[in-house]
Amino acid sequence: MTVFQGTREVLALSALGIAGGVPVALASARLVANRLFGVEPSDPLALATAALVMTAVALLAGYLPVRRGSRVDPMVALRCE
């Protein structure tokens, strides 16, 4: 697996989580509306910023292990087991 393939998988999983999380956040916006100060419950800028931060964290968290794993020779890894 190359670094590009692994990073693509991390981004795909991140996009799947965001695609499931944004509708839940919008649906539960009325429940937390009284706890938000200065932000509307369905503020698109806040949702986009949260999605961008989560994507960046997922990319960073996934890139380091993918890069390290891509350097291992597959035959060496199979012989160790």
**Amino acid, single-letter form, for residue 18:** I
Domain boundaries, the chain: 3-80
Record the tokens describing residue 42, joined without a space.
């369905």
pTM value is 0.73
Query: Tell me, what DSSP letter sits at residue 34?
Result: G
In tens, the pLDDT along 7-55 reads 899 899 999 999 999 999 888 887 887 777 777 777 888 889 999 999 9
In angstroms, rounded to a whole number, what is the distance separating the alpha carbons of residues 42 and 26? Answer: 6
First to last CA, the chain: 19
How many other C-beta atoms are found inside a 10 Å radius of the C-beta of residue 10?
19
